[in-house]
Structure 1
Amino acid sequence: MERVTILPKWAPKQHIRITGPVRSDLKTKRLIPRLQPGDIAVLAHEDIDEMAARGLIQAKVSAVVNTRCSITARYPNRGPLLLLQAGIPLLDMTDLGDDERPDLLDFVQDGDPMTILDRSLYVCDRYVGQAEILTKREIVLRTAIAKQNAAKELENFLENTLQHANKEKSFFLGSLPTLKLRTAIEGKHVLVVVRGSTYQADLRTISHYIKEQKPVLIGVDGGADALLQAGFQPDLIIGDMDSISDHALKSGGELIVHAYLDGRAPGWARIQKLGLHAHKYPAPGTSEDIAMLIAHEAGAELIVAVGTHTHMIDFLEKGRRGMASTLLTRLRVGPKLVDAKGVSQLYQQRMSWTALVCVVLASMLPVAVLAAVNPIIRNILRIIYWQMRLAFS
């Protein structure tokens, strides 16, 4: 329910006015599951990515206030435009030149009433600062600049990838850690689901494949929630365990916590707190890479990947400046891997006019047969016919 704030008489002339309770967090992926419709999301997310924007849109927030720059023009990030296209105002806090003023995230609490009046922000009736209202024109201009910067960003990305690949190659080319899994993988198809762009549509598109082939289902962090939402039970859940719900963790899938090479695993404490059993897998790279490697080493016949990160924008939006581990993983897995990301855009089933006519004729055939053998039906159809003639004559 909208909460009204009493504003001072000197408040500037309004262009927009939005009121609602605040929900805030330094990490957007922790914030999104807590959001309620009508909330004002306060976050610290430089270059808002596509998946974060879609999460905010699905949460039906009334506005987004970012204490960082939503689009720096370093690369063409897709999040800000998606928010505006969904009708959600996006505001970036501006520097007031006051070193004593704390960051907005330092003092707002969940549930505090906030009012956005033009460019001015008020929390609990108190003026807290100015913000820039991002427009579609501004985002288009910054995106054009970002595209001009893409060549330099790609050069940096490649250099970072090659440097890390040289450091990590000994792990990916050597003997990998082994796990005693209760989930049988050898000789089977394996589906690895990552909550990346188009993952929902892709899952719907290959749902028949899942039902027919019954592959081993691996959810990578939030990919386990994606499988459950699509009506499938994950067999394995792999990741840092920082973007997955408690419900998914307790769903019965075998758990593997991705750890650093030195054995530290930030997600391990959460597993222990929930009283769950899990394996620990120390490895560099991303959790989706580890999922493919585990499936490959366990003897999977085919590995199908949905929602994985495959290109520079994907990785930059994920906060990674290179893709060394992904490159090395795909070299090791080789032809076993089928990337189904974006398959929904490749194949969209449409009914042709010929098929539609056939369906209509087929549906009329039983009526015609029934009318031919039943005099009551013939009389009813005759009455309808004459009524139609009278109505249109």
Structure 2
Amino acid sequence: MKVSDALSATVMRFRRSRADAPSGLVAPVHSDRRTKNLTKRLRPGDIAVIDHVDLDRVSAEALVDCGVAAVLNVAPSISGRYPNQGPQLLVEAGIPLVDEVDAEVFTRVRDGERLRLDGGGLYRGDELLALGRPQTPESVAAAMTEARAGLATQLEAFAANTMAYLQRERDLLLDGIGIPAIETDMEGRHVLIVVRGYHYREDLVALRPYIREFHPVIIAVDGGADAVMEAGYRPDIIVGDFDSVSDQALTSGAELVVHAYRDGRAPGLPRLTALGHTAVVFPATGTSEDVAMMLADGSGAALIVAVGTHATLEEFLDKGRSGMASTFLTRLRVGGKLVDAKGVSRLYRSRISPWALLVLVAASLFTIVVAAYSSPAGQVYLTFLAARWDAFSYWLTGLLT
């Protein structure tokens, strides 16, 4: 056989093997019905399997930060109740999103098993384990447009939940009855409340001059404690049910306030007890974000600066639970001293380019040189520098020769 014929046969075999090879993405698969818990175990390149109706923006950002290769959702990522922002964030990041996957995927797939995702199907070899509906930027945009029509209905439900919360917590909201005493002194001081929510990283960076000047009391809400530590600060108080905060943050020396139900149940207390920590219990119906604001207000804070909290109707709805109505009322209570830092990073950006700084430095050096030549003292100093340079050149020349 000629060499050219043998080469042609090898190329043909390679092409046939490539054609026969299965297509799609092959990667480890990790699953959990709670997205918050799953993101703690994900590694870059993993396939995430979740059960999250109306995927919110914060959860989607966490998935993107984990570097997932694809997301399979057992539930519809956009149910149509309101225009939630999570799916759009995923598809814009180029992460494949498959919706309404067979619910049996949680029992059929071993955690960490390497499987193949092809289109909307998840395969073990040639065996189809689960099938879903792939989302595209076009399908997500269309679903978001339809979902905006449902805002009126959601607004009515939001208003009803607001009234129900007001009836249950009117003593706490109006008179501050039930706010526990804490050790951290906030009387007359600025308080910075950090929630790991929208644009929290950018706003913490933008607030560095404020933090450096005023040294506010830092209250972190659950995972916001890790956000504070990542930014180079230490939280003074951590508030929440402690389901999304690291052990490192809990041992940072911050005072701990457990958000409990009205009947006294505190799901986060057993974890703290196991770690040997003591905590103040704050029973309240609302969210941990509300608890942090009411704690600061009830402790005499002069100003409350909020980072990553919820401010708009879509953000309240995007949280995915009716309890966010409490945050609306809490903001009304503390509104006189509340400053929302949301968007600070977008409102204020330095417009000085590196080239402008370089020109400024060059102009300054030129001015200094001209001033030195123009004054007798400057000429003496320049003569001294020239002599020192000649001495250095002479030494360097002798060293090399």
TM-score by length of 2: 0.83
Shift of 1:214: 0.4
Letter of the structure 2 residue corresponding to residue 362 of structure 1: S
Alignment CA distance shift 1:378-1:82 (3 Å): same
Counting aligned pairs with the same residue, the percent is 47
Q: Cα RMSD (Å) of the superposition?
A: 2.7
Could you tell me how far apart the structure 1 residues matched to 2:207 and 2:96 are? Answer: 35
Structure 1: 5+ residue runs without aligned partners? 1-8, 96-101, 380-393
Alignment CA distance shift 1:299-1:17 (3 Å): same
**C-alpha contact 2:120 2:133 (8 A) present in aligned 1:** yes
1:84 and 2:86 equivalent? Answer: no
Shift of 1:143: 0.8
Tell me the equivalent position of 2:271. Answer: 270
SS at match of 1:35: coil
Structure in which a larger fraction of residues adopt helix = 2
**C-alpha contact 2:196 2:223 (8 A) present in aligned 1:** yes
Could you tell me how far apart the structure 1 residues matched to 2:290 and 2:55 are? Answer: 24
Q: Give the counterpart of 2:51 among 44, 47, 59.
A: 44
**C-alpha contact 2:54 2:320 (8 A) present in aligned 1:** no
SS at match of 2:133: strand
Letter of the structure 2 residue corresponding to residue 267 of structure 1: G
Tell me the equivalent position of 2:350. Answer: 349
Could you tell me how far apart the structure 1 residues matched to 2:82 and 2:133 are? Answer: 20
Greater CA radius of gyration, 1 or 2?
2
1:310-329 deviations in Å (ceiling 9; x for gaps): 22222222222254322332
**Aligned counterparts, 1:111-260, within 5 A:** 111-123=112-124, 126-260=127-261
SS at match of 2:110: coil
Shift of 1:70: 1.1
Tell me the equivalent position of 1:99. Answer: none
**C-alpha contact 1:92 1:134 (8 A) present in aligned 2:** yes
The aligned length equals 363
SS at match of 1:81: helix
**C-alpha contact 1:218 1:235 (8 A) present in aligned 2:** yes
**C-alpha contact 2:240 2:259 (8 A) present in aligned 1:** yes
Could you tell me how far apart the structure 1 residues matched to 2:80 and 2:24 are? Answer: 28
**C-alpha contact 1:20 1:115 (8 A) present in aligned 2:** yes
Could you tell me how far apart the structure 2 residues matched to 1:176 and 1:182 are? Answer: 18
**C-alpha contact 1:115 1:122 (8 A) present in aligned 2:** yes
Shift of 1:228: 0.2
Shift of 1:375: 4.8
Tell me the equivalent position of 1:385. Answer: none
SS at match of 2:149: helix
Letter of the structure 2 residue corresponding to residue 223 of structure 1: G
**C-alpha contact 1:12 1:117 (8 A) present in aligned 2:** no
Could you tell me how far apart the structure 1 residues matched to 2:309 and 2:37 are? Answer: 20
1:106-138 deviations in Å (ceiling 9; x for gaps): 342321111112322114764212121111010
Could you tell me how far apart the structure 2 residues matched to 1:265 and 1:92 are? Answer: 34
Tell me the equivalent position of 1:359. Answer: 361
Could you tell me how far apart the structure 1 residues matched to 2:364 and 2:256 are? Answer: 50
Alignment CA distance shift 1:178-1:132 (3 Å): closer
SS at match of 1:190: strand
